[in-house]
Amino acid sequence: MVDNNTIMVLGKCIECRAKETDGFSCYEMFQFPLVWEHNDPELYALHFWLVSCYMIQHPSIYTEEGYKLMVRLFTEAYDNEWPTEYILRKDRNLMTKIDKITNPLPNNKRKRIYRNWSMTIEDIYITGEENAINKIKKWKEQVRKDLEK
């Protein structure tokens, strides 16, 4: 299965290794919490963490420079416990310093590198909207730990 953002082989994403669930790729599962957060301001407050965790696990979406910037912003925000407003301000500022953030190559031409992640978007999706807040908080902790490996 190929969508515009991921490649699933034998029912798994070739980058994050999330399993296809309910017929959805990891990218399609990612869309669910994006919708859920519109119903819940507390969940929406975790938008940066939701998006950055997913993006960090899919480096093919970014240029090399864009990916390094995302990882740096994520780790600094996590390690320094920055409030969301500050993270977003910092993000806007950092993005102006690089030429291109997203990978300009067509999806099927992008280099993909598998990495073993402790949690993926699958873990958020399968536990549902009612557990999304706690799962996203756990996901950001796990991504931070995995980045240290």
**DSSP secondary structure letters along 7-51:** BEETTEETTT-PBPBTTB-HHHHHHHHHHHGGG-HHHHTTHHHHH
Percent of the chain with pLDDT over 70: 97
pLDDT recorded at residue 91: 84
Average pLDDT, the chain: 91
Hey, where are the domains in the chain?
A: 27-104+113-148
26-80: per-residue pLDDT in tens? 999 999 999 999 999 999 999 999 999 999 999 998 888 889 999 999 999 999 9
> How many Å apart are CA 25 and CA 51, to the nearest integer?
16
pLDDT recorded at residue 111: 85
- Maximum CA pair distance of the chain? 41
Residue type, 139: W
72-92: per-residue pLDDT in tens? 999 999 999 999 999 989 988
pLDDT recorded at residue 120: 97
CA 51 from chain centre, in angstroms, equals 4
Contact (CB, 8 A) for 69 and 30: no
pLDDT band of residue 2 (cuts 50, 70, 90) is very low
pLDDT recorded at residue 99: 75
In three-state secondary structure terms, 19 is strand
